Amino acid sequence: MATTEQLSTRIESTLGRALSRAGKPGAPPKLAEAMRYAVFPGGARVRPSLCLAVASSCGDDQPALADAAGAAIELLHCASLVHDDLPCFDDAPTRRGKPSVHRAYGEPLAVLAGDALIVLAFETLAERILDHPARAAHLMRIVAGSVGMPFGIVAGQAWESEDDAILADYQRAKTGSLFAAATEAGAVAAGGDSQLWRVVGERLGEAYQVADDIQDVTGDEAVLGKPTGVDATYARPNAVAQHGLAGATRHLKQLVTDAVDAVPPCAGQAMLQQMILQQSQRFEPPPNAPAAGRSAAHPA
Amino acid sequence: MATTEQLSTRIESTLGRALSRAGKPGAPPKLAEAMRYAVFPGGARVRPSLCLAVASSCGDDQPALADAAGAAIELLHCASLVHDDLPCFDDAPTRRGKPSVHRAYGEPLAVLAGDALIVLAFETLAERILDHPARAAHLMRIVAGSVGMPFGIVAGQAWESEDDAILADYQRAKTGSLFAAATEAGAVAAGGDSQLWRVVGERLGEAYQVADDIQDVTGDEAVLGKPTGVDATYARPNAVAQHGLAGATRHLKQLVTDAVDAVPPCAGQAMLQQMILQQSQRFEPPPNAPAAGRSAAHPA
């Protein structure tokens, strides 16, 4: 089994190569810089880490394909953050503790950086088609499905423009889809069972969305590196608003337990369960902490 | 050789199937509608027509792959129009004779519609990977390269945010890249020579950009279905501003001639040359027409 450090090295170097290709001589320099700014330094890289950990647990016989899938998922995640922060959505002044892309580079370059990162994600994955065409085709389907219509993150974001959004559907598309893609893609890249592993990502995705909702209500902006209270401002569905803080916290714990229980028997089962529990500790609020000004790490 | 009507039927039905998949039950209805609004009714579908005409000239032994490539290119073109029309770029109130997407559906759904169309383009192409993995991998590279960084349409749009943009580089990326991709992809889908055919698209792309520049200066908004005078408003590079109307018109004619001459010997050579000449007539200003208020069809 690969160590967390080994996985991290693979992720950063795959992302670095992709961004270098996009920004090579002849590219418009500001857009190249804005793209790099959106991807580095990263957050916890939770999705690609999950993807590669699952691939590793399934034997990882096509590591370059797994790397490409993990990088594609992270690039799409970064693209979605850039576009979600735009003035017409959250108008977020900060992200990952620094000015958001549109604050740093202006709105036109933020729109284009998001677009270019989406293209780069598919380009990165497509480069490995000939490594294993059948798996690559499946990976393309998984990754595109997790970000596009009808059930991917753009669909999740679009539910905010609908009058009758159902909390579960909204969250499943907005956050869950990319987590489900991460575990499923890791399995597919290594020839594992996609459906068994998909469930792990689905539960984790729900857990992260609930954690994000809790942080939006109780978190400390300085620690999170992004604004809080956004859901209330935009009258958006939020698990704390719907179930109360105690209810949302109970739900979060249950989802993490479900994710751990869903890890299928494999060489890396214990390692993966450990990794999930460790990462989930980063975003659970400390017990009996006050309902406002509470600090918690940004889950993504 | 396929007729223009046969090619048109293939294009519209491939686009229709892709949009139906994106908007199937469970999708957020407004975003699904905004995507469809951005794609139908289309403009002249010049790029996918070129793609399929070239594939047809090269034998078209993988028609589903050629259809997917043509549709992907058109979806990316539509996505770029939606994002280029946004308030932070051209703030265009109209497009193809109706309100632009952000005017009809609001800015959030316009951003998301563009994003979702980019994803749908790659998804549509990826569906045909197993038809012929080597050609599909090549097509992915061509299509991603034509729209992404460092030399695709997002790069072209990004040059508008740079202080020192070179007109030729800017136009090559902003318009030429998708035309070059159209002819190159048509050839690759059918096993033809990609480089020979790429040159045809490059010349045509330059011609279309010059035509667009001329229309921006001399065209009639009501006939074009979109605003004019945009380049002057935003102090953008424009061939008429740089070479004068007569110079730009001469340059346009030369580029069309070059494109016609570049068509390689093949079964459909005469048909393709005819098609290029016919389409180019649509955007050449009538001789001795006044420099303002002149009407011309929208080239794309």
Q: What is the pLDDT of residues B98-145, one digit of tens each?
A: 999 999 999 999 999 999 999 999 999 999 999 999 999 999 999 999
Partner A, chain B 60-89, Cβ-Cβ below 8 Å: 79, 83, 86, 88-89
What beta strand segments (E) does chain A contain? 94-95, 98-99
Interface test with B, best of A117, A149, A162, A178 (most B CBs within 10 A): A149
Q: What is the pLDDT of residue B31?
A: 98
Token pair of B253 as six digits: 């004619």
Of B28, B35, B149, the CB nearest to A159: B28
CA distance B71 to B52: 10
Burial class (CB in 10 A: 0-12, 13-18, 19+), A299: buried
CB B118 within 8 A of CB B79: yes
Of A88, A126, A144, the CB nearest to B119: A144
Interface test with A, best of B103, B112, B146 (most A CBs within 10 A): B112
CA angle at A62 for the pair A61 and A65, rounded to the nearest 5°: 155
| A155–B contact, CB cutoff 8 A | yes
Residues whose CB is less than 8 angstroms from the CB of residue A142 and which lie 6 or more positions away in sequence, other chains included: A181, A184, A185, A188, A194
- Does some domain include residue A293? no
Nearest residue in chain B measured CA to CA from A82: B111
Number of domains in chain B: 1
Q: Can you list the residues of chain A whose pLDDT is less than 50? A: 286-300
Of B21, B28, B88, the CB nearest to A158: B28
Q: What is the pLDDT of residue B168?
A: 73
For residue A267, the tally of other CB atoms under 10 A from its CB is 12
| Chain A residues with beta carbon closer than 8 angstroms to that of B35 | 149
Token pair of A250 as six digits: 């109970």
CA distance A258 to A202: 10
Q: What is the pLDDT of residue A292?
A: 39
| A35–B contact, CB cutoff 8 A | yes
- Does some domain include residue A298? no
Enter the DSSP assignment of B285. Answer: P
Q: What is the pLDDT of residues A134-161, one digit of tens each?
A: 999 999 999 999 999 999 999 999 998 9
Q: How confident is the model at residue B285 (pLDDT cuts 50, 70, 90)?
A: low
Q: What is the pLDDT of residue A282?
A: 72
- CATH number of residue B128's parent domain: 1.10.600.10
Pairing of strands A98-99, B94-95: unpaired
Long-range contacts of A276-282 (CB under 8 A, 24+ apart): A276/A200, A276/A204, A279/A44, A279/A46, A280/A207, A280/A211, A280/A256, A282/A44
For residue B237, the tally of other CB atoms under 10 A from its CB is 19
Burial class (CB in 10 A: 0-12, 13-18, 19+), A136: buried
Domain boundaries, position B57: 4-281
Nearest residue in chain A measured CA to CA from B164: A28
Closest to B73 measured CA to CA, from B159, B5, B20, B145:
B145
CB B272 within 8 A of CB B53: yes
CB A118 within 8 A of CB B118: yes
| A244–B contact, CB cutoff 8 A | no
| B196–A contact, CB cutoff 8 A | no
Of A119, A144, A161, the CB nearest to B108: A161
Peptide bond into A41 cis (omega under 30): yes
The HSE-up count of residue B19 (CA atoms within 13 Å, CB side) is 25
CA distance B36 to A83: 21
Sign of the Cα torsion B148, B154, B155, B158 reads negative
Task: List Cα–Cα distances, B110 to A63, A157, A234, B106, B152, in angstroms.
Answer: 37, 12, 19, 6, 21
CA distance A197 to B93: 47
Q: What is the pLDDT of residues B187-235, one digit of tens each?
A: 999 999 999 999 999 999 989 888 988 988 988 888 888 888 888 888 7
Q: Which amino acid is at B224?
A: L
Closest to A44 measured CA to CA, from A268, A282, A210:
A282
Of A112, A122, A144, the CB nearest to B157: A112
Task: List Cα–Cα distances, B263 to A104, B7, B175, B209, in angstroms.
Answer: 46, 19, 20, 20
Helices (H) and strands (E) in chain A, counts: 15, 2
Closest to B215 measured CA to CA, from B100, B296, B96:
B296
Residue B245 has pLDDT above 60, yes or no: yes
Q: What is the pLDDT of residue A30?
A: 97
Q: How confident is the model at residue B284 (pLDDT cuts 50, 70, 90)?
A: low
Q: What is the pLDDT of residue B293?
A: 35
Enter the DSSP assignment of B194. Answer: H
The CA-based diameter of chain A, rounded to the nearest angstrom, is 55
H helix or E strand, kind and range, residue B95 = strand B94-95
| A284–B contact, CB cutoff 8 A | no
- Does some domain include residue B297? no
Closest to B161 measured CA to CA, from A29, A91, A102:
A29
| Residue B292 distance to chain A (closest CA, Å) | 30
Burial class (CB in 10 A: 0-12, 13-18, 19+), A276: buried
| Chain B residues with beta carbon closer than 8 angstroms to that of A17 | none
| B91–A contact, CB cutoff 8 A | no
A63 compared with B282, residue with greater pLDDT: A63
Token pair of A157 as six digits: 């974001």
Q: What is the pLDDT of residues B154-194, one digit of tens each?
A: 999 999 899 877 777 787 788 889 999 999 999 999 999 99
Instruction: Name the 3-class secondary structure at B112.
Output: helix
- Does some domain include residue B77? yes
Q: Whats the size of chain B, residue-wise?
A: 300
Q: What is the pLDDT of residue B109?
A: 98
Task: List Cα–Cα distances, B55 to A237, B62, B66, B183, B276, in angstroms.
Answer: 49, 9, 7, 8, 15
- Does some domain include residue B290? no
Instruction: Give the ranges where A219-286 is alpha helix by DSSP (H).
Output: 221-224, 230-233, 239-262, 269-281
CA distance B280 to A203: 55
Partner B, chain A 108-147, Cβ-Cβ below 8 Å: 108-109, 111-112, 114-116, 118-120, 122-123, 126-127, 129-130, 133-134, 136-137, 140-141, 144-145, 147
Token pair of A125 as six digits: 């994955």
| Residue B223 distance to chain A (closest CA, Å) | 28
Enter the DSSP assignment of A129. Answer: G
Please report the number of interchain residue pairs, chain A to chain B, with beta-carbon separation below 8 angstroms.
202
B122·A122 Cβ contact <8 A:
yes
- Provide the percentage of residues in chain B whose pLDDT is more than 90: 71
Residue B290 has pLDDT above 50, yes or no: no
Interface test with A, best of B33, B78, B122, B164 (most A CBs within 10 A): B122
CB A69 within 8 A of CB A187: no
CA distance A231 to B107: 19
Q: What is the pLDDT of residue B170?
A: 80
Token pair of A98 as six digits: 């620094």
Residue B94 has pLDDT above 90, yes or no: yes
Q: What is the distance in angstroms between the CA of the first residue and the CA of the last residue of chain B?
A: 24
